[in-house]
Structure 1
Amino acid sequence: MSTTTQTPIELTAADLQGPGVVFCPNPKMPLWSNHPRVFLDVATTGSAKCPYCGTEYVLKAGEKVHGH
């Protein structure tokens, strides 16, 4: 697990997959930091944190997720 403080990754509604989720690790992460892929629900609360690496994903202010 990572113990360093990271800047949250801001997402737009277009960045979300299917029912408002994002997956981690994301394609921009270096290969050495890979862990099992997890799908994180960002649409429900506006943010989610990966249980493996601690990366936090947040929906940009004012973004509307369709279907929620």
Structure 2
Amino acid sequence: MSEAKSIVEVGAADVQGAGVVACPNPKMALWSSHPKVFIDLSHDGQGKCPYCGTVYKLKAGEVLHSHH
């Protein structure tokens, strides 16, 4: 049986800069901490943490504001 990975849905207001979120996120327990990394959601609306496998994705209907 495969272990289910966490999926964290984020709104546009949770995204920093050009479309990134930080992992670990503030809701994670301290024991599961790893070095802070930024997950880029700007390409396809989701991204996965290389350390813990948590998937971050934009909530349905949320739009990132690009500065192109």
How large is the Cα RMSD of the aligned pairs? 1.4
Quote the offset at 1:8 in angstroms: 1.1
Between the two proteins, the alignment pairs up a number of residues equal to 66
Structure 1 stretches of 4+ with a deviation exceeding 4 A read none
The TM-score normalised by the length of structure 2 is 0.88
Q: C-alpha distance in 1, partners of 2:65/2:23?
A: 22
List gaps (5 residues or longer) in structure 1.
none
Matches within 5 A, 1:22-61: 22-61=21-60
Cα distance between partner residues in 2 of 1:61 and 1:19: 19
Runs of 5+ in structure 2 lacking a partner? none
Q: Percent identity?
A: 59
